[in-house]
């Protein structure tokens, strides 16, 4: 199979779909890999490294999309990229379609087979291709939150870890999954007072076992969230419903109760955000203020640490990329029900139920497509 890797064009997105070692593995299996010139530079990967691994360097995205039978990316294709997709082509990348009707319609019209990293599952029920980026975003959240709390950034002027005689910041994390757990780990390490809210008693038990009394765990109810939000210096939204739009757990009325200069970091913004006041931002212009509360809602947070993120992502995507290339998408999905969960759009049909429900579109089961 001929595999194309374009340079990412989303604002300040420096990750790349394949690293040289992944290219070498694909070439070893008899596949041809096309890399757009300069695609890996943002992650510190030179064209020469790709050539040494067996890749063919091509100029511009047109050649990648025209010649590639499978396109491997990191972020969802932007409008100009979606125009280049064609029927029968495989797109393997993050898509996050539930909050994005325009992209969903464009992918349907393209006729391509679109497989989303974020809905590929695992035997344990985890989202195996989303996990490493959730880990990165979770670990970044207290770091960017601490920066936003600085007075010059519009924050309260509170040091996350405090100093002897002056208490650290109160950090509230909504969601105790992968992102939330990693956010708690870093926030604790920075010396903050941490509260994690989740609706799963099992998750709260796991957090209590992992962190002991260092983390306060709270069962999620509307009232519990309202009370915690009011006290938070830094509120981290780490809520996830696989494949679906994030629930709006933080109302605009709750935001109004927060102290001036408090900060919301909404990791869930890729899926629409978990606050009614959240809207997507970029690394170029990452924050805005609503009711004196600083909002950080960058939709590609892991892109800020592109090298770490790229290698972490390739560690989990490569086996699936190989399966798709070796077997073709249809056989690969028939053989692996977990990869099959990643199929979102095929030949104009929506094959992911949460996406179809989010947009009021017809849903076609993957089994029907494969049959």
Extended strands (E) in the chain: 2-5, 32-36, 56-58, 70-72, 90-93, 113-116, 170-174, 193-198, 215-219, 234-237, 263-266, 287-290, 293-296, 343-346, 349-350
Distance CA 132, CA 315 (A): 9
- Report the C-alpha gap between 348 and 265 in whole angstroms: 35
The neighbouring-strand residues paired with 163 are 166
Q: How far is CA 121 from CA 174, 224, 239, 320, 338, in A?
A: 22, 31, 17, 11, 5
Structure token pair of residue 12: 């300040």
Which two three-digit tokens encode residue 242?
A: 């696989």
List, in sequence order, every residue forming a beta bridge with 216; answer none if it has no partner. Answer: 195
Instruction: Tell me how many degrees the CA angle 240-241-246 measures, rounded to the nearest 5.
Output: 70
Residues 6 or more apart whose Cβ sits within 8 Å of residue 364: 346, 349, 350, 351
Cα–Cα nearest to 268, from 180, 187, 350, 139: 180
Report the alpha-carbon distance of residue 305 to residue 8 in Å, rounded.
14
C-alpha closest to that of 228 among 207, 254, 260? 254
Residue listed under structure tokens 């077997």: 327
In the three-class reduction of DSSP (H, G, I as helix; E, B as strand; rest coil), residue 139 is classed as: helix
Catalytic residues: 96, 270
């Amino acid at each position: 199979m001929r595999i194309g890797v374009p340079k990412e064009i989303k604002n300040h997105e420096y990750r790349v779909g394949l690293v040289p070692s992944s290219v070498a593995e694909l070439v070893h299996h008899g596949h041809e890999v096309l890399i757009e010139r300069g695609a890996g530079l943002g992650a510190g990967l030179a064209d020469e490294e790709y050539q040494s691994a067996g890749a063919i360097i091509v100029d511009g995205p047109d050649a990648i999309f025209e010649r590639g039978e499978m396109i491997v990316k990191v972020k969802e294709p932007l409008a100009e990229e979606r125009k280049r997709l064609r029927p029968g082509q495989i797109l393997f990348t993050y898509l996050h379609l539930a909050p994005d009707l325009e992209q969903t319609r464009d992918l349907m019209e393209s006729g391509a087979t679109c497989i989303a990293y974020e809905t590929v599952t695992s035997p344990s029920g985890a989202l195996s291709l989303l996990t490493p980026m959730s880990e990165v975003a979770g670990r970044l959240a207290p770091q960017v939150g601490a920066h936003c709390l600085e007075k010059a950034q519009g924050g309260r002027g509170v040091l996350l870890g405090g100093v002897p005689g002056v208490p650290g910041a109160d950090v509230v994390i909504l969601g105790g999954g992968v992102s939330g757990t990693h956010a708690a780990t870093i926030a604790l390490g920075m010396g903050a007072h941490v509260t994690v809210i989740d609706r799963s008693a099992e998750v709260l038990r796991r957090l209590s076992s992992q962190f002991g009394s260092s983390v306060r765990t709270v069962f999620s109810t509307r009232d519990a969230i309202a009370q915690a939000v009011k006290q938070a210096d830094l509120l981290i939204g780490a809520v996830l419903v696989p494949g679906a739009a994030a629930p709006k757990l933080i109302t605009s009325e709750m935001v109004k109760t927060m102290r001036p200069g408090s900060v919301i970091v909404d990791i869930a913004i890729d899926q629409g955000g978990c606050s009614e006041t959240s809207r997507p931002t970029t690394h170029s212009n990452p924050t805005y203020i609503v009711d004196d509360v600083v909002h950080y809602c960058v939709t590609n947070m892991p892109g800020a640490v592109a090298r770490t993120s790229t290698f972490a992502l390739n560690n989990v995507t490569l086996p699936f990329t190989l399966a798709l290339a070796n077997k073709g998408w249809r056989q690969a999905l028939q053989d692996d029900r977990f990869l099959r969960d990643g199929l979102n759009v095929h030949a104009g049909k929506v094959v992911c139920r949460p996406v179809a429900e989010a947009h009021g579109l017809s849903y076609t089961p993957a089994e029907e497509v494969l049959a």
